[in-house]
Protein backbone atom coordinates (compact mmCIF):
# COMPACT_ATOMS: atom_id res chain seq x y z
CA UNK A 1 0.00 0.00 0.00
CA UNK A 2 2.91 2.33 0.72
CA UNK A 3 4.21 1.74 -2.83
CA UNK A 4 0.90 2.82 -4.35
CA UNK A 5 0.81 5.94 -2.16
CA UNK A 6 4.42 6.74 -3.16
CA UNK A 7 3.54 6.42 -6.87
CA UNK A 8 0.49 8.67 -6.45
CA UNK A 9 2.52 11.32 -4.60
CA UNK A 10 5.17 11.23 -7.32
CA UNK A 11 2.47 11.67 -9.99
CA UNK A 12 0.95 14.60 -8.12
CA UNK A 13 4.38 16.26 -8.02
CA UNK A 14 5.78 15.39 -11.45
CA UNK A 15 2.79 15.95 -13.74
CA UNK A 16 2.18 19.55 -12.60
CA UNK A 17 5.95 20.10 -12.81
CA UNK A 18 5.91 19.09 -16.48
CA UNK A 19 2.93 21.39 -17.08
CA UNK A 20 4.82 24.28 -15.48
CA UNK A 21 7.90 23.58 -17.62
CA UNK A 22 5.71 23.46 -20.71
CA UNK A 23 4.15 26.81 -19.82
CA UNK A 24 7.63 28.32 -19.37
CA UNK A 25 9.17 26.75 -22.47
CA UNK A 26 6.18 27.35 -24.73
CA UNK A 27 3.87 25.34 -26.93
CA UNK A 28 6.68 23.76 -28.92
CA UNK A 29 7.61 21.67 -25.87
CA UNK A 30 5.53 18.71 -26.95
CA UNK A 31 5.21 19.38 -30.64
CA UNK A 32 6.42 17.08 -33.37
CA UNK A 33 7.68 19.87 -35.60
CA UNK A 34 11.03 18.16 -36.01
CA UNK A 35 12.61 14.82 -35.22
CA UNK A 36 14.49 16.55 -32.42
CA UNK A 37 11.22 17.73 -30.84
CA UNK A 38 9.85 14.20 -31.05
CA UNK A 39 12.96 12.76 -29.38
CA UNK A 40 12.70 15.23 -26.49
CA UNK A 41 9.00 14.41 -26.08
CA UNK A 42 9.75 10.68 -25.87
CA UNK A 43 12.65 11.29 -23.48
CA UNK A 44 10.41 13.45 -21.25
CA UNK A 45 7.87 10.64 -21.06
CA UNK A 46 10.60 8.18 -20.16
CA UNK A 47 11.92 10.45 -17.41
CA UNK A 48 8.42 10.90 -16.03
CA UNK A 49 7.78 7.15 -16.04
CA UNK A 50 11.13 6.34 -14.43
CA UNK A 51 10.66 8.97 -11.75
CA UNK A 52 7.10 7.93 -10.93
CA UNK A 53 7.60 4.16 -11.04
CA UNK A 54 11.09 3.77 -9.59
CA UNK A 55 11.23 4.62 -5.88
CA UNK A 56 15.03 4.58 -5.94
CA UNK A 57 15.02 7.51 -8.39
CA UNK A 58 14.89 10.73 -6.38
CA UNK A 59 12.19 13.13 -7.56
CA UNK A 60 14.85 15.85 -7.71
CA UNK A 61 16.78 13.79 -10.28
CA UNK A 62 13.67 13.47 -12.45
CA UNK A 63 13.04 17.20 -12.17
CA UNK A 64 16.66 17.97 -13.07
CA UNK A 65 16.50 15.67 -16.10
CA UNK A 66 13.29 17.32 -17.30
CA UNK A 67 14.72 20.80 -16.83
CA UNK A 68 17.77 19.71 -18.81
CA UNK A 69 15.65 18.32 -21.65
CA UNK A 70 13.51 21.46 -21.81
CA UNK A 71 16.59 23.72 -21.79
CA UNK A 72 18.25 21.72 -24.58
CA UNK A 73 15.06 21.83 -26.62
CA UNK A 74 14.68 25.60 -26.12
CA UNK A 75 18.30 26.21 -27.13
CA UNK A 76 18.03 24.01 -30.23
CA UNK A 77 14.69 25.59 -31.21
CA UNK A 78 16.18 29.08 -30.96
CA UNK A 79 19.30 28.01 -32.82
CA UNK A 80 17.14 26.51 -35.58
CA UNK A 81 15.34 29.84 -35.91
CA UNK A 82 18.45 32.03 -36.02
CA UNK A 83 21.28 29.93 -37.49
CA UNK A 84 20.77 28.57 -41.00
CA UNK A 85 23.16 25.63 -40.50
CA UNK A 86 21.39 24.18 -37.44
CA UNK A 87 18.30 22.67 -39.12
CA UNK A 88 20.59 20.70 -41.45
CA UNK A 89 22.42 19.30 -38.46
CA UNK A 90 19.47 18.32 -36.26
CA UNK A 91 16.63 17.64 -38.71
CA UNK A 92 16.03 15.15 -41.47
CA UNK A 93 14.71 16.49 -44.76
CA UNK A 94 11.19 15.57 -45.79
CA UNK A 95 11.11 13.00 -48.60
CA UNK A 96 8.76 12.89 -51.57
CA UNK A 97 7.24 9.41 -51.97
CA UNK A 98 4.52 10.17 -54.52
CA UNK A 99 4.13 12.92 -57.12
CA UNK A 100 1.20 13.62 -59.45
CA UNK A 101 -0.38 10.21 -58.83
CA UNK A 102 2.87 8.28 -59.41
CA UNK A 103 4.53 6.24 -56.66
CA UNK A 104 8.25 6.93 -56.29
CA UNK A 105 9.15 3.34 -55.39
CA UNK A 106 12.84 3.99 -54.79
CA UNK A 107 12.00 6.69 -52.23
CA UNK A 108 9.30 4.54 -50.66
CA UNK A 109 11.80 1.69 -50.20
CA UNK A 110 14.55 3.96 -48.87
CA UNK A 111 12.13 5.47 -46.35
CA UNK A 112 11.33 2.02 -44.97
CA UNK A 113 7.71 2.20 -46.07
CA UNK A 114 5.74 0.09 -48.49
CA UNK A 115 3.31 1.02 -51.25
CA UNK A 116 0.56 -0.31 -48.96
CA UNK A 117 1.65 2.16 -46.24
CA UNK A 118 1.32 5.05 -48.68
CA UNK A 119 -2.08 3.82 -49.90
CA UNK A 120 -3.25 3.62 -46.29
CA UNK A 121 -2.23 7.24 -45.75
CA UNK A 122 -4.05 8.22 -48.93
CA UNK A 123 -7.23 6.65 -47.55
CA UNK A 124 -6.76 8.43 -44.22
CA UNK A 125 -6.50 11.76 -46.03
CA UNK A 126 -9.66 11.11 -48.08
CA UNK A 127 -7.80 11.02 -51.39
CA UNK A 128 -10.26 9.59 -53.89
CA UNK A 129 -8.19 9.36 -57.08
CA UNK A 130 -4.48 8.81 -57.66
CA UNK A 131 -4.66 11.38 -60.47
CA UNK A 132 -5.61 14.08 -57.95
CA UNK A 133 -2.80 13.29 -55.52
CA UNK A 134 -0.27 16.04 -56.11
CA UNK A 135 2.32 14.92 -53.53
CA UNK A 136 2.84 12.56 -50.63
CA UNK A 137 5.67 13.56 -48.32
CA UNK A 138 7.34 11.52 -45.60
CA UNK A 139 7.96 14.23 -42.99
CA UNK A 140 10.99 14.37 -40.65
CA UNK A 141 8.69 13.54 -37.72
CA UNK A 142 7.55 10.29 -39.34
CA UNK A 143 4.20 11.79 -40.31
CA UNK A 144 2.89 11.50 -43.86
CA UNK A 145 1.49 14.59 -45.59
CA UNK A 146 -0.88 14.06 -48.49
CA UNK A 147 -1.53 16.99 -50.81
CA UNK A 148 -4.42 16.40 -53.16
CA UNK A 149 -6.78 18.44 -55.26
CA UNK A 150 -7.08 20.07 -58.65
CA UNK A 151 -4.37 22.69 -58.22
CA UNK A 152 -0.99 22.69 -56.52
CA UNK A 153 1.59 25.32 -55.58
CA UNK A 154 5.12 23.94 -55.97
CA UNK A 155 6.25 26.17 -53.08
CA UNK A 156 4.73 23.52 -50.81
CA UNK A 157 7.61 21.23 -51.84
CA UNK A 158 10.32 23.68 -50.80
CA UNK A 159 13.00 21.75 -48.89
CA UNK A 160 11.53 18.35 -49.80
CA UNK A 161 13.99 15.83 -51.23
CA UNK A 162 12.65 14.17 -54.36
CA UNK A 163 15.22 11.38 -54.34
CA UNK A 164 17.42 9.67 -51.79
Q: What is the pTM of this model?
A: 0.71
Q: What tens digit of pLDDT does each residue of 58-104 get? A: 999 999 999 999 999 888 888 888 887 776 677 778 899 999 999 99
SS3 of residue 160 by DSSP: coil
> Shortest CA distance to 130 belongs to which of 142, 139, 138, 118?
118
Helices (H), the chain: 2-25, 35-53, 59-82, 86-90, 105-111, 115-124
Q: What tens digit of pLDDT does each residue of 6-46 get? A: 999 999 999 999 999 999 988 777 777 777 788 888 999 99
140 touches 93 (CB < 8 A): yes
Phi and psi at residue 49, to the nearest 5°: -60, -45
Amino acid sequence: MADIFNILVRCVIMVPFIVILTRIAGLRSFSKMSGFDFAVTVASGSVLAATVMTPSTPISHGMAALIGLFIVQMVIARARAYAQQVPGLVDNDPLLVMRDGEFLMENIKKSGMTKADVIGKLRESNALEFSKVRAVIFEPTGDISVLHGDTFDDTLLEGVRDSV
